[in-house]
Amino acid sequence: GNSVTQMEGPVTLSEEAFLTINCTYTATGYPSLFWYVQYPGEGLQLLLKATKADDKGSNKGFEATYRKETTSFHLEKGSVQVSDSAVYFCALSDQGGGSNYKLTFGKGTLLTVNP
Amino acid sequence: EAGVVQSPRYKIIEKKQPVAFWCNPISGHNTLYWYLQNLGQGPELLIRYENEEAVDDSQLPKDRFSAERLKGVDSTLKIQPAELGDSAVYLCASSLRRGLYEQYFGPGTRLTVT
């Protein structure tokens, strides 16, 4: 079956530091890949996505590139802010068929950014 | 535009008691999802509705869990009777329709079973 493995947290950084959260996946076929963010007390929000190999998703200074050869979708940001403190989830979705676009999530990585 | 609304936000009950969660999706969204999120884990799908039809409920423990989506809008998820292991966050999400459409999540209901 499908699975997503992301680096365990918590991750603690100082403001303006570089961020990488690793994510690798196992899936049949050609999944779409997502990063969701959950701020304290709020629901999950889609941060960025990529639907095919070599696509780069980007939003709010965050980027992730769909690497089929390494089955990875690592999240990066060049300079984090205190407001980026949240839990980040990597997820994949099968491209339809019997799985019906079901989302499979990783366990989440808690990021804390200190001023 | 209002987001996905869930209530209650928090619920504490004793084991063996029933409990119900309510979800109001974004207006016009045909697809509705219920997820279970255990502490330190990512969300796991319990059930998916296309309009009023449950089209994927393979992960729903049907001996104690039930769900309905009357008229294809609001949805209710029920547990009867609750067990200690049901303590978790129950998330509702909606999307425009089935497919690679963005899922919008509600804030969740945090259930504590004592």
DSSP category for residue A17:
-
pLDDT at A111 over 60: yes
Residues of chain B below pLDDT 50 = none
Instruction: Give me the pLDDT at residue A100, please.
Output: 59
Dihedral over Cα of B12, B18, B24, B29: its sign: positive
Chain A residues whose C-beta sits inside 8 Å of any chain B C-beta: 4, 32, 36, 41-46, 51, 89, 91, 93, 95-96, 100-103, 105-108
pLDDT digits (tens, 9 = 90+) for A33-51: 999 999 988 889 999 999 9
Nearest to A101 among B4, B43, B100 (CB): B100
Between CA B95 and CA B50 the distance in angstroms is 10
Q: Is the peptide bond before A40 cis (omega within 30 degrees of 0)?
A: no
CB neighbours (10 Å) of residue B76? 14
Chain A positions touching B4 (Cβ under 8 A) are 43
Residues B100-105: contacts with CB under 8 Å, at least 24 apart: B100/A32, B100/A51, B100/A93, B100/A95, B100/A101, B101/B31, B102/A46, B103/A46, B103/A103, B103/B33, B104/A43, B104/B3, B104/B4, B104/B25, B104/B26, B104/B29, B105/A36, B105/A43, B105/A44, B105/A45, B105/B4
Chain A positions touching B48 (Cβ under 8 A) are 100, 102
pLDDT digits (tens, 9 = 90+) for B3-14: 999 999 999 999
Chain A positions touching B99 (Cβ under 8 A) are 96, 101
Asked whether the beta carbons of residue A102 and residue B56 sit closer than 8 angstroms, the reply is yes
B104: its two tokens? 């919008």
Nearest to A105 among B3, B43, B99 (CB): B43
Residue A3: beta bridge partners? A26
pLDDT digits (tens, 9 = 90+) for A14-26: 999 999 999 999 9
Write the single-letter amino acid at B19.
Answer: V
Mutate to test the interface with A, among B103, B104, B109, B110 (most CBs of A within 10 A): B103
Calculate the CA A99 to chain-centre distance: 21
Quote the strand ranges of A1-115, DSSP E: 3-6, 11-14, 19-21, 23-26, 32-38, 44-50, 56-59, 62-65, 75-77, 86-93, 103-105, 109-114
Nearest to B41 among A91, A93, A107 (CB): A107
The residue of chain A nearest to residue B89, with distances taken between CA atoms, is: A43
Q: Is the peptide bond before A10 cis (omega within 30 degrees of 0)?
A: yes
Chain B positions touching A95 (Cβ under 8 A) are 100
Q: What is the mean pLDDT of chain A?
A: 92
Nearest to B107 among A32, A42, A105 (CB): A42
Instruction: Give me the pLDDT at residue A68, please.
Output: 93
